[in-house]
Amino acid sequence: MPPPFISADILLGQLLLGLINGAFYATLSLGLSIIFGILNVVNFAHGAQYMMGAFAAWALLAYLGVGFWWSLLLVPLIVGAIGMLFERVLISRIYHRDPLYGFLLTLGFALVVQGLLREKYGVSGLRYAVPPALAGAKDLGFMFLPYYRAFAVLVSIATCLAAWFAIEKTKLGSYLRAAAENATLSEALGINVPVLLTVTYGIGVALAAFAGVLAAPIYSVSPLMGENMLIIVFAVVVIGGLGSIVGSIVAGVSLGVIEGLTKVFYPQASSTVIFVAMIVVLMLRSDGLFGRRA
């Protein structure tokens, strides 16, 4: 049952925590939405690629002494390059097949990566410390806000806006959208469609890895961290509309806030409210809030 009295401090605190979680959901779902929207591939390896980003940051620090700030730059490039290789060698072979092939291929890749890391490091989780420059917290009166979480939400929002601008407002983005709409005509106009598709997949994977680096100091680095987050991210993408970048951003932030408010008014439903919202949205609009009508 909901508590009989809810203080303003508790309500504001949960709203802020919901906004932080929502910004993180939006960032992680962004790459998944880009890959589906342009390549029409349901990338079930997205959670594993997010987890690979966190593990790569931890490995760079543990084995090479490379800190958080360099990892934030290097890890998306490294994991994105692995994703591009994966796309060229395997995914490119199934573009013209039933989407189920892409689902099974990416699921198999995720299970292999997860199994290898679980065999090597176990499932108990590895600690990745918050960078010293972002240690500590700010007293907001109604809660203590860790500096790192504030940094993570600001970076997440900036990343979402930058990705939207790049896809919707730049020449590269227009090429990507053209290749997705009509690959044959795009090639006739001199656009190298295979390279664009590879780059698109690499960008989506790099965004997942970037989110993994941001998550490493907040959650323990574990082979299971991607599996747990993937279900929520898929729900976010479905609610926003498969392939819609704006939908992923709006749905991610909104659902984070709704989840936070649910923890105040009805905590027992906080773990399922996102999926209830997904069911309601699909009943009212099967393509999602911002999805394109077939």
pLDDT (mean) for 232-236: 88
pLDDT (mean) for 93-107: 86
Q: What is the dihedral of CA 257, 46, 114, 209, to 10 degrees?
A: -80
For the chain, the first-to-last Cα distance in angstroms comes to 42
User: What is the rounded average pLDDT for all residues in the chain?
Assistant: 85
- Within 10 angstroms of residue 168's Cβ, the number of other Cβ atoms is 12
Q: What is the dihedral of CA 60, 63, 67, 73, to 10 degrees?
A: -20
More confident residue, 203 or 178: 203
pLDDT at 1: 47
Q: Name the band, by pLDDT with cuts 50, 70 and 90, for residue 294.
A: very low
pLDDT (mean) for 29-52: 88
pLDDT at 158: 92
pLDDT > 80? residue 218: yes
pLDDT at 9: 67
**CA of 139: how far to CAs of 8, 142, 153, in Å?**
16, 8, 17
141 DSSP assignment = S
* pTM for the full predicted model: 0.89
pLDDT > 60? residue 293: no
pLDDT (mean) for 263-289: 85
pLDDT in tens, 161-173: 898 888 888 887 7
pLDDT (mean) for 26-45: 86
pLDDT > 90? residue 272: no
Residue type, 266: Y
pLDDT at 62: 92
Q: Which two tokens stand for residue 162?
A: 């930058």
